[in-house]
Structure 1
């Protein structure tokens, strides 16, 4: 059954006064089918239930879950996971441009995400965030259990706070082509906001108005706890019949209003006027008036369009001055039937014990003791205390309405998831005769040949043919000056602490290793040489960089690569290199650690290790992007490119999503065109022959990020590679 109600006329504006009604017995079947479909296609990677879903361009979906994560989906596949909230994510939205995404959580925060990384956290709400709505590319709205709506600028500034609801606000939705919006909540109301003011309040015959949506024709759809969907309209053409409107008013008048969940204030029935009070007209649409009739307190609302008071229900009970549902108690942002104070001993601290009558008292007691690190011997005593003080009360299932999964007895409780040194005498970086890592003077022919991007074999002609991607082989850093490296190693060794100094034999061993791995000697690296190198790269961070440079060159050799990246020592090796990627660390160490990681890709053992440790390595490596060192940026771009080469070979879509996220993030900060070029090659390699990767790159806004490089004149390879990438996008 569908009923459409008309709006009323007020100062030349049409207002919503009634609605279409869709009884959802049949819709519940449809909803169940949808739930089953979502579970089979999307929830495979969420550990708990979905809370919210938002759609974006190119078929992208964003889901929020009770497991505290949000996930980005493309063509039924999870592309990336957004992690950072500490409680359930109850609201998600995809912004219209640049691949930006928003999440609102029960941890009271909102987070802005770009390319899978948290860019900003919005603080201000005092309770769980329940809904989000997009106003423009730069502004959005949020609503919360704190009964407020906040307007935010994308920069993080809260532009305004709107008050009007007297209880939890569950949903917010924006009218098309303007900044007016609607909200729904636990106070039985739908509220229409115009120019920042609550212009109209519509009461409904259900306690919880869970969700709302504004259609393209400005009709408002609301879903309520009585199992009915109602659609309000201001179009006379879609107005319901007088009989259907009267049926709705009758249903509304028979509702029971609990003052604790509404905005009626403290009520003293003896002081209320009688029915004659309704003879005086109201002063604004939606105004509420209480009367006493035959010993009952009745609530009426003024309708400007009809010029009369409409009964919206009978008031039962008394107000407790609270904003909580069903007389429950709030504790740490959650509702409970009871919150007890437990004193373990006379002089000890007090502990709060929250409890719902639907919970098991023994399990509650056990969790309470575990959380507060109390002796398990108190288990019987605490459980008996709960039973005695609740008199064994069991939950009463007298409410025939659908229960709110967030505030009802089966609600989510945030946090309940089962997942639960000696300095050298001379400054080695600025002193005279300083060693420059990776300097190109007196270059020794590398094992892997010249760098195809910066060496003698670099691109020189401007061909229309795509010679850039997909890249088939890893790019390495091979240029070196062994004499300078060894000279700086000996200099710093002389200033090292006694217990860290290398012996003369150690220095000779490292010289032989460097000679063997740079192809200036026919000798093979030995176990002793590799062991000595390990000792050297564990030097203090102030003096370790020449040892890291030897590592960078040596790891290209299959024997050294297998030794460091094989099963026996790979964990220590990766952790050592990641230590040097500290954002506050020395740029020389960051540079050489990144180059060493890049060179690990030359052998199978290194490729396997770096792919297995991809999440940790990429997460740590991207932290060094904020510096202005162009060589570090080139090394970071090269590491990303080498990952793209491997991911293209194995066609790992989740890995590609992570790599695309890194490219999008790094592309925003790099200025050196060589680094940009390598990121473009990585991007082209990732999306070649993969429609899913193309769509994901679009959804992340990568296409708009790289368009500016089409106009680059020199080097020509940047412009041409960019054009080839954009053709794929």
Structure 2
């Protein structure tokens, strides 16, 4: 039998619940904690003793600290960073040894309750605002949206570039390149914690009192672990990479080895919020009494007999609710003499009738004895205790209220002790009776109103927000970039006047492919008379409500001169709403007309033009309609107003470009690639890492298609323009496997496509 864990030390210093724990890189073998007292602390091993010393208190949050992670060292921060998430909706970063944050990240609109770090400097955060966010170089580069409730847990499988999110909607999602690739379902309540076991498997824990093991790729649940009797808040993987520990609302930290419950460690406090496996094999817990407890398997590091005796005394005096233990009939319970018989396994519990009171004991295999872990309060079915408190379902309460929730229905019993946080008591009440979260404030305020004049305990209505509390609860709630250099009809932007010239912004590599500063436009067209002729033909066949007077059609030619006549703008506005089968001549006029600044400005004053172009470019429409819509969106980049409008709707525009992967014509494929290229060109000089990320993702999606070589070349030039001199973009590209995808394009054949792909590949490592 493996050596059991025993108490090593108690760490005191926080004034309220310890909500998060993580092992530190600096100091080595240290510990970092986050608390409801709005602070985080660094704990270092105290040389010459078995304990730890509080080395530093980090301040800066205005509300409780609910999540922690450590970022590995890099050139900017050689000792790494400590990252904290808070109910104040912000993320702070600290350099070890410095009490004030070095930077702050904002964007979430709810409690930041989960954090994880990954390769290349990526940070993943989860929030009660129902989203997760991906951060790089202090900027949000992706927002992961799809959960219906709070995102309680996050994890990163770095080798695959996969990000995991666990939610109060009972599901877990896997994301890659900002897109959901898998949803894992099986938990029956909120998912509270995630732990990555390997590239192929991960663990999750839940309010349903279970832990589950999942296969990353298939989504299969490989195992379910039972043992806890209440919410499981956190889990941590042990150093061997397979076994793990969990902490829960049932007062326990539990150790799981070889797929089985190996040890149960009771705590004097009800909530074991956080657990952390240290690199040396020790484990730590953070609890609702504000104490961090470290447990070890090394007999040399066991706490002194006095400390262990004090710990056991605090366990023995802890109240235990009878309800989770079942209905109790005191007279049927065994007496103290039964404790002479050894337990059958470590962690086994038994209830003893000690002169009419019920005590709970746990078998401690390491000491081969029964250890008292609490007193059962009351007995099931009683209504009054000897202390004068009210008994409800076998537990003493200061108050048992009758609450009318629904008209015509009987009132529900709401038990409450003044030591409880009103919002937590309200949340438990809602959970028990399966009531809507919309009642949370109503019930909590009912408690406050009916306990006026009483000093309530550890919680406060404004300061405690778990699990869905307070104002932040989960509530189902341009730049004038260079626009010069318009490409003359028929010219090649990669060899023409706007091309990259070594010496201007040269990397010294002789690279004549990228970066480029000039967008590419589609300016060549058939004679206007031919286009108008086709429009007049279609005008005779459309429905009466779409019909345009023929004299109005004759005015459309003025749009190409930059001096619109009559109602030509209004006429074209109407024409581009025609059905996709007949709209393409109007689109051809529009994409040429917006070459003129005044026409472009007028159409960009109608943001709905983007929605209309996206509709016409959508799958299912004919190729001419789709291709000309994409060309129109591309040509909008010629003027500042068009650039601004495109970037403001980048998600919608890039999505129709990605959907264009199914286009089979060369012209359509080149339109897709050129649109993405122009986004890359316009964003390259900006610090908008989030939108750069979207461009790289779009390029990656399209590069995986069987596209025309010229279209692939333009996509590569766009990627090269972004990653050539931007380390953030390089990291983003690596996270979505762009280097591997582009490497497949390298061939032994000569030509600009092969040359460009090799240059882009080499830029990832430069």
The bucket for the TM-score relative to the shorter chain is: 0.7 to 0.9
Pairing 1:190–2:215 present: no
Distance of aligned partners of 1:409 and 1:503 in 2 relative to their CA distance in 1, 3 Å threshold:
closer
Distance of aligned partners of 1:573 and 1:177 in 2 relative to their CA distance in 1, 3 Å threshold:
same
Distance of aligned partners of 1:411 and 1:391 in 2 relative to their CA distance in 1, 3 Å threshold:
closer
| 2:491 equivalent in structure 1 | 450
The alpha carbon displacement at 1:338 in A equals 7.4
The alpha carbon displacement at 1:680 in A equals 2.4
Pairing 1:414–2:459 present: no
Q: Are the aligned partners of 1:686 and 1:693 in contact in 2 as well (CA < 8 Å)?
A: yes
Say which is worse superposed, 707-716 or 673-682, in terms of deviation.
Answer: 707-716
Q: Are the aligned partners of 2:743 and 2:761 in contact in 1 as well (CA < 8 Å)?
A: no
> After the TM superposition, which residues 275-294 of structure 1 pair with which residues of structure 2 at under 5 Å, given as runs?
275-294=336-355
| 1:706 equivalent in structure 2 | 742
The alpha carbon displacement at 1:133 in A equals 0.8
| 2:313 equivalent in structure 1 | 250
| 1:3 equivalent in structure 2 | none
Secondary structure at 1:646 match in 2: helix
Distance of aligned partners of 1:107 and 1:350 in 2 relative to their CA distance in 1, 3 Å threshold:
farther
Normalized per residue, the structure richer in helix is 1
> After the TM superposition, which residues 397-476 of structure 1 pair with which residues of structure 2 at under 5 Å, given as runs?
399-400=457-458, 405-407=465-467, 413-415=473-475, 420=477, 447-452=488-493, 465-476=510-521
The alpha carbon displacement at 1:147 in A equals 1.2
In the alignment, which of 550, 573, 580 is matched to residue 616 of structure 2? 580
Q: Deviations over 1:77-113 (max 9, x none)?
A: 3333223333322211122124321122223222222
In the alignment, which of 22, 25, 33 is matched to residue 58 of structure 2? 33
Structure 1 distance, partners of 2:406, 2:256, is: 45
Secondary structure at 1:618 match in 2: helix
| 1:200 equivalent in structure 2 | 263
Distance of aligned partners of 1:621 and 1:724 in 2 relative to their CA distance in 1, 3 Å threshold:
closer
The alpha carbon displacement at 1:647 in A equals 1.2
| 1:105 equivalent in structure 2 | 167
| 2:726 equivalent in structure 1 | 690
The alpha carbon displacement at 1:476 in A equals 1.9
Q: Deviations over 1:275-295 (max 9, x none)?
A: 111111111111111111122
In the alignment, which of 524, 530, 533 is matched to residue 572 of structure 2? 533
In the alignment, which of 226, 235, 240 is matched to residue 298 of structure 2? 235
Pairing 1:130–2:192 present: yes
In the alignment, which of 531, 542, 557 is matched to residue 496 of structure 1? 542
In the alignment, which of 39, 52, 57 is matched to residue 119 of structure 2? 57
Say which is worse superposed, 540-549 or 186-195, in terms of deviation.
Answer: 540-549
Aligned CA-pair RMSD: 4.2
Distance of aligned partners of 1:561 and 1:508 in 2 relative to their CA distance in 1, 3 Å threshold:
same
Structure 1: segments with no counterpart, 5+ residues: 1-9, 321-325, 330-335, 360-370, 373-381, 421-444, 518-522
> After the TM superposition, which residues 59-98 of structure 1 pair with which residues of structure 2 at under 5 Å, given as runs?
59-98=121-160
In the alignment, which of 216, 220, 244 is matched to residue 279 of structure 2? 216
Please report the TM-score for the alignment, with normalisation by the length of structure 1. Answer: 0.77
Structure 2 distance, partners of 1:395, 1:711, is: 80
The alpha carbon displacement at 1:489 in A equals 4.0
Structure 2 distance, partners of 1:353, 1:555, is: 69
Q: Deviations over 1:531-557 (max 9, x none)?
A: 433332121223212322332233223
Q: Are the aligned partners of 1:153 and 1:159 in contact in 2 as well (CA < 8 Å)?
A: yes
Structure 1 distance, partners of 2:552, 2:7, is: 88
Structure 2 distance, partners of 1:355, 1:451, is: 77
| 2:378 equivalent in structure 1 | 317
Distance of aligned partners of 1:88 and 1:542 in 2 relative to their CA distance in 1, 3 Å threshold:
same
In the alignment, which of 397, 405, 414 is matched to residue 341 of structure 1? 405
Q: Are the aligned partners of 2:555 and 2:566 in contact in 1 as well (CA < 8 Å)?
A: no
Q: Deviations over 1:648-707 (max 9, x none)?
A: 233333332333343344445565544433332222222333333333333444334433
| 1:265 equivalent in structure 2 | 326
Query: Aligned pairs, how many?
Result: 641
Say which is worse superposed, 95-104 or 476-485, in terms of deviation.
Answer: 476-485
Q: Deviations over 1:568-589 (max 9, x none)?
A: x432322321322444544443
Say which is worse superposed, 687-696 or 397-406, in terms of deviation.
Answer: 397-406
The alpha carbon displacement at 1:401 in A equals 8.4
| 2:226 equivalent in structure 1 | 163
Structure 2 distance, partners of 1:726, 1:315, is: 68
Distance of aligned partners of 1:195 and 1:489 in 2 relative to their CA distance in 1, 3 Å threshold:
farther
Distance of aligned partners of 1:526 and 1:177 in 2 relative to their CA distance in 1, 3 Å threshold:
farther
| 2:594 equivalent in structure 1 | 555
Q: Are the aligned partners of 1:98 and 1:702 in contact in 2 as well (CA < 8 Å)?
A: no
Distance of aligned partners of 1:472 and 1:508 in 2 relative to their CA distance in 1, 3 Å threshold:
same
In the alignment, which of 181, 197, 215 is matched to residue 153 of structure 1? 215
Structure 2 distance, partners of 1:173, 1:215, is: 9
Structure 2: segments with no counterpart, 5+ residues: 16-32, 42-56, 62-83, 85-90, 93-100, 382-389, 394-399, 424-434, 478-485, 501-507
Q: Are the aligned partners of 1:404 and 1:411 in contact in 2 as well (CA < 8 Å)?
A: no
Secondary structure at 1:159 match in 2: strand
Say which is worse superposed, 594-603 or 306-315, in terms of deviation.
Answer: 306-315
Secondary structure at 2:595 match in 1: coil
Q: Deviations over 1:334-390 (max 9, x none)?
A: xx98763323xx8xx99999999958xxxxxxxxxxx99xxxxxxxxx99x999999
| 2:713 equivalent in structure 1 | 677
| 1:333 equivalent in structure 2 | none
Distance of aligned partners of 1:560 and 1:200 in 2 relative to their CA distance in 1, 3 Å threshold:
same
Secondary structure at 1:290 match in 2: strand
The alpha carbon displacement at 1:43 in A equals 4.4
Distance of aligned partners of 1:487 and 1:176 in 2 relative to their CA distance in 1, 3 Å threshold:
farther
The alpha carbon displacement at 1:453 in A equals 6.5
In the alignment, which of 9, 15, 24 is matched to residue 13 of structure 2? 24
Q: Are the aligned partners of 1:226 and 1:401 in contact in 2 as well (CA < 8 Å)?
A: no
Structure 2 distance, partners of 1:205, 1:219, is: 20
Structure 2 distance, partners of 1:61, 1:398, is: 38
